[in-house]
Amino acid sequence: MQNSGIMIKNTATILVLILNVFCYANKPTHIRIIHAKSANKLNNECIPEYNPGFWSNTRGNNCYSYACDTSIQRMEHIPQPGFAHGIILDKWNCETVHNAAVADGLKPIDCDEGCGFSCQHQVALCVDPRESGYHWYRKDRDGTWSHKRGLSSISKLDDTWKDSIIDPRKADRGKYTTFCGCYCVDKKKVKIASEEDLKLPKRKSTDENKEVVVVKLGIYSGRPNPEMKLTNKMALQYADLVKLTVSKEQTHPPPPVKLGEFYGFFVQIPDKKAEELGLPGQAAVLNGVFTDMTHKKLTHWSDEAGIERFLTRLAYELGFGDLLRNMHIVEPK
């Protein structure tokens, strides 16, 4: 009797499903089209748009936060897969980064199937086969892919700097040649940072460390980049060079670099300290060009005063020589 009851229940469930399909199939065509349009509209609203103006001056972001479409506002906490859930990566291969990203809430999927009509967007992970780092790509609302090159700008082009990214599996990915897989990001479920890291830092602070000028070396796309903290004397020297530089006429942005190449020095100064020194709070210097990254519209000057040379010499003096030599950055004489 018990088995008979289960069979009746299962049969009833199947009949209901068949009836629902029959009813939908027999609805007027315009009603079915409206349902499909509603699903597409919901899906489009959940997929991020390509917005270089917004991402050009956000404080603490990398390829991972960009892929997850989550802007981090604190300079000191650039997000890493798994960190928000107690995982600290010391290896950067497909398995370790995958496990950390899944802990953050990313859902592995078949790249060709995508995320369907659910309120999610698609991302992709690749790593350097030498396990020195990782890189993420994001599928945008127009169906093409984009990515953020570490601390620098976002782009819709692959590493040729000519071709749009239609499929990250087939794109030129620079040194990140090992493709790991695709994922769906549901922003309501994925957590890559604390609530505090999502807010702009308060201007008032008695913490001495928050008044320090930090220079990050643009080596990795996703994993934490090495950094050096300038002493007051170094900061004043840097300030003098910047003031000489920005007193000249503006110029064009520096030429693009490939993934895996050194992509510049990134200087981050807390607001109060920046006002005190009369400097932009965020700046970069690469290939003889100094860039103010504080505002949405980036401004560039020719580095005639030698800011890049000054920071390169400091990096060698502070023990980053081997890293820079590996990136083909020569020590100034």
Q: What is the pLDDT along the chain (333 residues), one digit of tens a residue?
A: 444 444 434 444 444 334 343 444 454 544 343 333 444 555 567 999 999 878 866 567 899 999 999 988 665 668 899 999 999 999 999 999 999 999 999 999 999 999 988 899 999 999 999 988 999 999 999 999 999 988 888 999 999 999 999 999 999 999 999 999 999 999 999 999 866 555 544 434 444 445 689 999 999 999 989 999 999 999 999 999 999 999 999 999 998 888 989 999 999 898 888 988 889 988 999 999 999 988 778 899 999 999 999 999 999 999 999 999 999 999 998
Helices (H) and strands (E) in the chain, counts: 9, 12
Q: What is the DSSP string of 208-257?
A: GGGG-EEEEE---SSSPPPEEEE-HHHHHHHHHHHHHHTTS-B-PPPPP-
Contact 91, 131 (CB under 8 A): yes
Claim to verify: residue 181 and residue 208 sit in the same structural domain = no
- DSSP structural state of residue 156: S
pLDDT score, position 230: 94
Do 75 and 154 belong together in one domain? Answer: yes
Q: Which domain-ending residue is among 28, 46, 64?
A: 46
Give the chain's domain count. Answer: 3
Give pLDDT, residue 58.
Answer: 58
Query: According to the model, what pLDDT value does residue 26 have?
Result: 52
- Check whether residue 282 and residue 319 sit in a common domain: yes
What is the per-residue pLDDT for 59?
A: 60
The predicted pLDDT at position 116 comes to 85
Q: Are residues 56 and 179 in the same domain?
A: yes
Buried b vs exposed e over 15-30: b needs ≥16 C-beta within 10 Å?
A: eeeeeeeeeeeeeeee
CA-derived radius of gyration, the chain = 24
Return d(Cα 234, Cα 182) in angstroms, integer.
44
In degrees rounded to 5, what are phi and psi of residue 227?
A: -140, 155
Query: Range of 291's domain?
Result: 202-326
User: Which of 185, 214, 240 is the endpoint of a domain?
Assistant: 185
- The Cβ of residue 40 has, within 10 Å, a number of other Cβ atoms equal to 11
- Residue 220's nearest CA partner among 148, 269, 164 is 148
How many residues are recorded in the chain? 333
Tell whether 162 is covered by a domain. yes
Q: Look at residue 128 in the predicted model and tell me its pLDDT.
A: 94
Strand partners, 134: 127
Task: Verify that 84 and 67 share a domain, yes or no.
Answer: yes
In this structure, the answer to whether residues 318 and 238 fall within a common structural domain is: yes
What does the pLDDT read at residue 153? 83
Distance between CA atoms of residues 330 and 315, nearest Å: 11
* pLDDT (0 to 100) of residue 30: 41
In a domain, 197, yes or no: no
228 lies in the same domain as 143: no
Which residues, listed in sequence order, are joined to residue 147 by a DSSP beta bridge?
155
CB 198 within 8 A of CB 59: no
Please check whether residues 206 and 274 belong to one and the same domain: yes
Do 28 and 67 fall into the same domain? no
Question: Which residue carries 């942005």 as its tokens?
Answer: 253
Can you give the pLDDT at residue 183? 98
Determine, yes or no, domain membership for 191. Answer: no
- Domain boundary among the residues 150, 185, 220 is at 185
Please give the pLDDT value at position 151: 85
